[in-house]
């Protein structure tokens, strides 16, 4: 976000009346704060609102209108200084008020249309001060460029028209006297808004909710309202606001948008700008696996996700029969049927994570596994070992009929073939097992050892 300084914010004028409407009273720039102004521009006119029959006998040539609202009454004056000291450069001014309507301003209560060359002056500055006694002067040789300042009251409103009939120059104004202006509100915080484009043309275009910046801009300030504009000139003049800021479609990428925070009582305002950025969608990481096959009465499988895995998608499984959590990919075997399943993870396009559409698949088999009831360890390769590798076993313990532990192994798969821990062959008999799974579950039962001699 770029905060626009109040000096530029309130008084930076453009070169044609079609760009900004400060050439007319109804769209006068509201002056707020006590800062002096510099580099102000007057080029062309809007509607001719000052006629020779009015005070000081002149009219608009290259004008700008300013609106003054007094906060604290007192004396009010100013010094208008052209940037160029060339005496050909001539600035005039008229003041209307207090509290008049632009459609019926009446006669100016203060004005000066003295021409520096015609009046044989050695300077081309003009304004109002506490020294002069006249309240109007001009045209041409009449006067010395200065008239008597005004005494103003709290909340008085005045319009000042500044005109440049001849010469080429911008100007500055320094306010004098004891009267003060209202301060503008202050935009506290706005942020750039970013989103990603859809997969369909036009690329680089998206819909934004500009009102996301309202709360941060307003903060705790009262009697203020925010409006949004697509160009600076309209933001300054409060013309052509964005009519639906909650659903604004950018026209360029990036695009600068302006927020105008105005005091609803005084009209004072502040401006800031922020960027709308539309980025291309990224390809999300969707690859995953499971330990497979798994037993229907075994440990519930969880998805093993690749590094950087996007958690914004959904899991699904086909055909029906697998109880899978669509968010996490966790499987509940107690609610599932044995079978072969294809598990799919899908990330949708243009979601808040700015991902392109992507999907990955994995084949999982759920078997109707059981714990063997017996082994025949005779070395023929058939049923020689107690095979529970389809379970996630933390440790296995084998006991004889007297409760004596004869075999123990951690991280067991299918190593026991009817021998003790020391490798001694156990006699044919019924033995009892205690299986502890990694999820904390324990299974107990019996297994028969039978050798054929």
What are the average pLDDT values for consecutive 10-residue runs of the chain, which has 453 residues? 41 34 82 77 87 89 93 96 96 96 94 97 97 96 97 96 94 94 93 81 85 96 95 83 96 95 90 92 91 83 94 94 96 93 89 79 88 91 90 92 95 94 94 90 92 71
How many C-beta neighbours within 10 Å does residue 221 have?
14
Quote the pLDDT of residue 357: 85
Q: Determine the Cα–Cα distance for residues 164 and 40; give it in Å rounded to an integer.
A: 12
Other residues' Cβ atoms within 10 Å of the Cβ of residue 167: 17
> Could you tell me which of 139, 112, 136 has the C-alpha nearest to residue 126?
112
Q: Is 322 within 8 Å of 338 (Cβ atoms)? A: no
Separation of first and last alpha carbons in the chain: 88
Please give the pLDDT value at position 351: 62
CA distance 294 to 362: 14
Distance CA 449, CA 401 (A): 12
DSSP-derived secondary structure for 234-277: HHHHT-S--S-GGGEEPSSSSEEEEEEEEETTT--EEEEEEEEE
Cα–Cα dist 310/288, whole Å:
11
Find tokens 């696996």 and name the residue.
289
Angular region, 12: left φ>0, alpha ψ -120 to 50, beta rest: beta
Residue 55 DSSP class: T
User: What's the CA dihedral at 100, 102, 105, 108 to 10 degrees?
Assistant: 100
185 and 220 Cβ atoms separated by less than 8 Å: no
What does each C-alpha distance from 55 to 28, 101, 116, 134, 157 come to in angstroms? 20, 18, 19, 13, 19
pLDDT at residue 453 in the model: 55
């Amino acid at each position: 976000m770029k905060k626009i300084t109040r000096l530029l914010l309130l008084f930076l004028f453009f070169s044609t009346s079609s760009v900004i409407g400060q050439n007319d009273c109804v769209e006068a720039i509201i002056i707020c704060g006590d800062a002096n102004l510099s580099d102000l521009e007057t080029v062309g006119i809007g509607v001719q609102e000052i006629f020779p029959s009015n005070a000081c006998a002149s009219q608009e040539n290259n004008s700008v209108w300013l609106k003054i609202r007094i906060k604290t009454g007192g004396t009010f004056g100013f010094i208008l200084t052209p940037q160029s000291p060339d005496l050909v450069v001539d600035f005039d001014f008229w003041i209307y008020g207090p509290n008049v309507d632009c459609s019926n301003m009446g006669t100016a209560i203060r004005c000066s249309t003295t021409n520096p060359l015609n009046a044989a002056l050695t300077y081309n500055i003009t304004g109002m001060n506490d020294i002069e006694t006249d309240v109007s002067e001009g045209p041409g040789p009449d006067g010395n460029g200065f008239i008597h300042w005004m005494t103003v009251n709290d909340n008085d409103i005045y319009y000042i028209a500044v005109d440049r009939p001849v010469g080429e120059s911008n100007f500055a104004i320094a306010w004098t006297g004891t009267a003060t202006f209202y301060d503008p509100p202050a935009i506290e915080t706005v942020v750039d808004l970013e989103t990603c484009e859809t997969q369909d043309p036009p690329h680089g275009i998206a819909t934004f909710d500009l009102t996301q910046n309202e709360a941060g801009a307003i903060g705790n300030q009262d009697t203020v309202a925010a409006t949004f504009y697509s160009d600076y000139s309209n933001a300054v003049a409060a013309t052509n606001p964005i009519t639906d800021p909650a659903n604004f479609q950018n026209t360029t990428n990036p695009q600068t948008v302006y927020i105008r925070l105005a005091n609803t009582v005084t009209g004072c305002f502040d401006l800031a700008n922020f960027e709308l950025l539309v980025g291309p969608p990224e390809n999300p990481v969707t690859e995953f696996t499971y330990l497979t096959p798994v037993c229907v009465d075994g440990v519930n499988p969880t998805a093993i996700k690749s590094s950087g895995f996007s958690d914004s998608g959904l899991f699904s499984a086909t055909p029906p029969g697998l109880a899978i959590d669509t968010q996490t990919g966790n499987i509940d075997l107690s609610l599932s049927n044995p079978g072969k399943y294809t598990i799919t993870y899908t990330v949708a396009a243009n979601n808040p994570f700015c991902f392109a559409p992507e999907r990955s698949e994995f084949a999982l088999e759920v078997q109707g596994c059981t714990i063997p009831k017996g082994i025949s360890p005779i070395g023929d390769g058939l049923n020689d070992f107690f095979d529970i590798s389809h379970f996630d076993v933390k440790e296995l313990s084998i006991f004889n009929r007297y409760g004596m532990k004869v075999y123990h192994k951690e991280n067991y798969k299918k190593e026991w073939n009817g021998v003790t821990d020391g490798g001694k062959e156990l006699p044919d008999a019924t033995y009892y097992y205690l299986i502890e799974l990694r999820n904390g579950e324990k299974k107990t039962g019996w297994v028969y050892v039978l050798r054929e001699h």
